[in-house]
Structure 1
Amino acid sequence: MFQTTSRCNAKCVFCPYPRTNELFRHGTMSNALFMKIINECALNAPLIDAIIPYLMNEPLMDKNIIKKIEIIKEKIPGIDLHILTNGMLLDKNLSDNLIASPIDWVGISFFSLNKEKYEHAMGIPFEIAKVNVTNFVKKALKKRNSEFVMITFFKNDDIDDEDIQQSLDYWKKLGVKRIMHYEKGISRAGNVPLIPSPVNKKMNKCDSIWTEEMIHILDDGSVILCCMDWERKHILGNVNNMTIEEIWNSDSYKKIRAVIRGKAPIENAICKYCEMANF
């Protein structure tokens, strides 16, 4: 999982981005670094199940994302490749190009079909997003297959069972088979002000399905612990001057894995405030 750009065009109240946006400089991953990552992955292709050019960002803000998708699939044909997007930028041209690309599937976060609730939660124009996403879904399901699109949303204080049912009915009517709706949002290890975070005194494992198998690379090459590490408190290496394999097997990674597995104190880890920490 990596950023080709660090930018996002939304201001979702359930996401840390609006708060952490000003903490770090933003940029686009250099072509040299992108190719270094993909070439390393190609060399280790039998060990890799998926590549996700998305992390704490809006991937479609990278104007060259389609070309990069093509490069990834050309270098590693058998890899599972997908992105998650808010869909705002899916105009006709980008939709057509994304559908025609070799990407395996696209996940779209669409909070609500209520205009007021949607705009309050996501900070982007509802009508544009709805039209773009709806048109994309119709085209995608016609030209690709029923697994190509996934829609996600969740309940919170603004979204009740009626809202959830409205969303389910709408997307199912369009033919969407993959719909993920969650009972609540999470604090992202204490990084979302509106959502209370736990205070864990210990942990024995992480409930994230990717804990032991996914690396997270920022646009500048920095490797962070996971998608909860919005304040970059655990920098485990940099792909500019190390290989992915070197970082994955580094002492820094071994130390934080000891925390995750309950073999070292949790005090200085973001896991202390994370809902994924299991004790």
Structure 2
Amino acid sequence: MLTSSPSSFNFLYKLTLRLVKKIIETGKLKAINFVNKKSFKPRAYNSILYCLNLPIVSQVYKSIYFPQIYRKSKKKPNTIVIEPYNVCNLACTMCPYPDLTRPKEQMSMQLFEKVIDDAVNNNFKRLSLSLYNEPYMDSLIFDRIKYAKKKGLETTITTNATLLTEELIQKTMSSGVDCVTFSIDSLDEKKYESIRVNASFKKTISNAKKMIAYRTQLNQKKPMLTMAAVLHGNDNSLNDMEDRLKGLDIYAVSMRDNRKDGQPTPGHLKAYPCFWPWNQLVVYSSGEIALCCVDSDNAHDLGDLKTQTINEVWESKVFKNLRKLLLKGQGDQIEICKDCDIPYRQSPVLWWAL
């Protein structure tokens, strides 16, 4: 049982400092649940969250962490997420895509170039071309990558790998894209196909292996090839990632969030100010702005880059007010935020990564 004695406090204070050091080291990779190894164990992350919610540890940690939050909240994001064409060929169980009401729309190259130029002028460094879409369904995807790279942006795509052909693999390897992430949530065929509805497990794994083999044949270091899995309960098949998909650079396992089903967050966790609006600016294929990547169906009218600049959107009264509420820990006053578990599961750590 915890006490408030000086010896107990000193022990927990030192423990917290060691924990903070480890969290900062992890956060330097600037990615959800990535660690400086080939894999991430969600159980270990849950242990970190448990420690951070211990009464004295929590007090000490907040005294160190909150000044970082307020300092970093003064800055714009340095990552921009652009959804080039809001279509996908799958209906994954954890994704809201099948329920989206936004019109299907392919962003024109003219608008894309306008947004990229504006982002570069605002010192953005990274571009992700993945939101609620499958990048390879966008006929302009390689033109977009080429333009972004010409402007100096580190560029990434996330794909379900189901549509890959030899031609697409070759074009990807020569495109200059910095990172390709395969979304493969299980290495058990039955479980994978129950999650990734409309996908063939054998075809997906075969396609991923072909891209890995082609990069090896070319003796290229880029693009970095990674695999991201969203954990759905216990899945021992993920322990075989390194053997089943040799040649990948990083294997990352993250815990499923509740953006699709809105399940309540476990009551023992404490919320921290959400970091996502400061981590990345999210642009729909229409040019409109999302509050964050969880805002799948444009819940807030935050602006439109067809007619506005990034700075005008960021400094707008409505966007400022939403960010103030998040910093005050009052996200429950924002409709899309009130049931979100990210402030409980990710925000306690990930401000260090900004």
Give 1:37-52 correspondences, 5 Å limit.
Answer: 37-44=115-122, 47-52=123-128
**260-269 or 124-133, which deviates more:** 260-269
Cα deviation digits, residues 160-205 of structure 1 (max 9, x gap): 22x111234212xx222311012x31112xxx13x624399x9551
Partner residue, 2:10: none
Query: What is the identity, as a one-letter code, of the residue corresponding to 1:217?
Result: V
Q: Is the 8 A contact 2:187 2:238 kept in 1?
A: no
The separation in 2 between residues aligned to 1:42 and 1:125, in whole angstroms, is 39
Q: Select 1:139's aligned residue among 206, 214, 218.
A: 214
SS in structure 2 of the partner of residue 238 of structure 1? coil
Determine helix, strand or coil for the equivalent of 1:186.
coil
Aligned to 2:161: 87
Contact 2:91–2:196 (CA<8 Å) still a contact in 1? yes
Q: Is the 8 A contact 2:277 2:291 kept in 1?
A: no
- C-alpha separation in 1, matches of 2:343 and 2:284: 23
Who is 1:219 aligned against?
A: 285
Q: Indicate if the aligned counterparts of 1:112 and 1:167 stay in contact, CA closer than 8 A.
A: no
Q: For the aligned residues, what is the CA RMSD?
A: 2.2
With over 3 angstroms needed to count, the CA separation of the structure-2 counterparts of 1:199 and 1:95, relative to structure 1, is: same
- Does 2:272 match 1:196? no
Cα distance, 1:129–1:258 mapped onto 2, change above 3 Å: same
Aligned to 2:84: 4
**Alignment partner, residue 259 of structure 1:** 325
- For the structure 1 residues 84 and 227, does the alpha-carbon distance in structure 2 shift closer, same or farther, using more than 3 Å as the test? same
Moved more, 2-11 or 51-60: 51-60
Stretches of 4+ aligned residues off by more than 6 angstroms: none
2:204 matched residue in structure 1:
129
The counterpart of 1:111, out of the listed 185, 193, 210, is 185
CA distance in 1: counterparts of 2:120 and 2:278, whole angstroms:
20
Corresponding position: 1:270 with 2:336: yes
2:129 touches 2:157 (CA, 8 Å); kept in 1? yes
Question: Structure 1, residues 52-88: CA drift from partner, whole Å, max 9, x if none?
Answer: 12212111110120111001111x12x2111111111
Q: Is the 8 A contact 2:228 2:252 kept in 1?
A: yes
Find the counterpart in structure 2 of residue 33 from structure 1: 111
Structure 1: distance between partners of 2:185 and 2:329: 39
Q: CA 1:131/1:32 → structure 2, altered by over 3 Å: closer, same or farther?
A: same
Question: In the alignment, which of 191, 196, 205 is matched to residue 273 of structure 2?
Answer: 205
Contact 1:199 1:273 in 2 (8 A): no
Q: Does 1:15 align with 2:95?
A: yes
| Count, aligned residues | 261
Q: Which moved more, 1:139-148 or 1:213-222?
A: 139-148
Give the TM-score taking structure 1 as reference length.
0.86
TM-score by length of 2: 0.69
Instruction: Give the superposition deviation at 1:141.
Output: 4.0
Contact 2:82 2:128 in 1 (8 A): yes
Q: Which stretches in structure 1 are left out of the alignment for 5+ residues?
A: none
Residues of 2 paired with 1:265 and 1:15: CA distance? 22
Quote the sequence identity (%): 25
CA contact (8 A) 2:173 2:222 kept: no
Residue number in structure 2 paired with 1:181: 253
Q: Distance in 2 between matches of 1:12 and 1:177?
A: 25
Once the two structures are superposed, what CA deviation does each residue of 1:205-226 show, in whole Å capped at 9, x if it has no partner?
11x4x43142111011110100
**Counterpart code for 1:185:** R
Name the CA distance, whole Å, in 2 between partners of 1:126 and 1:231: 29
What letter corresponds to residue 257 of structure 2 in structure 1?
A: I
Corresponding residue SS for 1:277? helix
Larger Cα Rg: Structure 1 or Structure 2?
Answer: 2
Deviation at 1:263, TM superposition (A): 6.4
User: Per-residue deviation at 1:266?
Assistant: 2.7
